A and B are shown apart, each in its own frame.
Chain A
Amino acid sequence: MHRRIQHRFHLRIVLAAVLLAFAGVLASSPSITFGVSSQGQVATTLSNDTISSPNVTYTFGNFRVANKEEVPAVEITFPAGTDVSGAVAVSPLGTVTVTGQTVRIDFTAPVPQRSSKFTLSVGGITNPSTPGAYNVGTVTFYTADLDGISTGSTAIAAGPDYTILDGWLTLTITTVDPGQAVLFGNLDPGIPSPPVDVTVNVDSSLPVSITRTIGGDAVLMGLMVTGTATGAKPAGVADYVDTYQVTLPWTTNPAIPLVATVQYTVVQ
């Protein structure tokens, strides 16, 4: 009887020792944790998917940070042709270091443990100049324990390719008279004609520069063109309006039809 009690006592001591040892291993080993994982379908989204577009924000996600771990930094290697020299950390905020095509962000505050559905946004990127399918491959998260001690890194696939589309540029000129013309007709010298508006519509995937070149008999007819259809313009669709007015000089020979031209050149 006494020996059976003594045996049970020894078993309990051994079991307790084993449990204590296992708990110690759990507490001390970083390899047991899960770092960062994807949450749902990881995707790459772009604020502008047109070729050569500047200042584009790339967003990657969603991700989840494991229990008792945080993420102090991340590293992404963008495909060749992508200009990352102006990369900035949009979210989370952090300090950016660019090496070649690789952008490393050391976060101002580590992404805390158990963060779910967090996304990573990198701005200031200029898209490749060639349309097509691209992928950053993997997003590498650097992890640390709650004391800030590195626990290694986790690379997560960035998901399906994203597509960079070709650019476009369209110029549409609208005049009151047919044939893309402004017909002032017969005018007296020295008296300003009624002003006539010409609308220049530009639809561009990139910022453009509009050049207005006036030629022909513009001087003989005293042609003045004022308005907004000149200079640097942002990407997108916009109407720019020029106003045409003629004040014939007294020195212009009468009865001779005058023809002037106003050429608009739009360059991306």
Chain B
Amino acid sequence: MRKMILSGGLVFALLFGIVGFAAADIVSYSAPADGTVTVNCTANSAMSLTLNTPDAAQTVQFGAQDPMSGATANVGVNVKSNVEWDLTKVETDATGMLSTDLLDVVAGAVGDHSLTDVYTLNIPWAAAPGAHTATVQYSVVAN
């Protein structure tokens, strides 16, 4: 089965070729009292992943925090797909100070799904003061 993977941070859809339709011949049809128009189309296989962060540039800025403050932030994860999908999450956090509550793998059906991942900051007293960065990558895979 063809796999489609969407990585977090970008919102896009896989397009299997949009076929444009050009103006064709004008066809007239006469009937005494009724007539029918046929409408045809086919859906492309597609999915999209949208991340909604509290701060710009798809980031979560906790700012200056005291140790053990327990600050939290919500990250919205929206998946739209017309095929069944799996959402996977990979955290890269050298400090171990960030925790998230969304499962590492979430399976989903077709449709429009909005999930929320709660980020919690846990700064131990032993952590050296300074700037710390962690990344969380979300991927959607068609299955």
Contacts and interface: CB of A to CB of B under 8 A. Distances in A.
Interface string B35-52: 111111111111010000
Nearest to A223: B39
Given A254-B46, A258-B43, A260-B39, A188 B15 contact: yes
A221 interface: yes
A171 B24 CA distance: 21
A218 B30 contact: no
Nearest to B31: A171
B101 interface: no
B125 interface: no
Q: Which 8 A-B pairs have the closest CB atoms?
A: A185-B19, A184-B41, A254-B45, A260-B39, A265-B34, A254-B43, A181-B38, A262-B37
Given A181-B38, A260-B39, A264-B35, A189 B21 contact: no
B35 A180 contact: yes
Interface string A165-203: 000011111111111111111111110010000101000
Interface of B: 13, 15-21, 23-46, 48, 80-83, 110-112
A237 to B, nearest CB: 13
Interface in A205-263: 216, 218, 221, 223, 244, 246, 248, 250-263
A60 B86 CA distance: 84
B44 A180 contact: no
B34 A177 contact: no
Contact of A183 (B13, B21, B35, B110): B21
B110 A251 contact: yes
B54 to A, nearest CB: 25
Contact of B82 (A185, A216, A251): A251
Given A183-B40, A259-B40, 14 more contacts: A171-B31, A176-B21, A178-B24, A180-B38, A182-B38, A184-B21, A185-B20, A186-B42, A186-B44, A187-B43, A187-B44, A250-B111, A253-B43, A254-B43
Kindly name the residue among B20, B43, B44, B46 whose own CB sees the greatest number of chain A CB atoms within 10 A: B43
Interface residues of A, number: 50
A219 B83 CA distance: 18
Contact of A179 (B34, B35, B38, B112): B38
Contacts of A185: 18-21, 40-42
A266 B34 CA distance: 6
B41 A250 contact: no
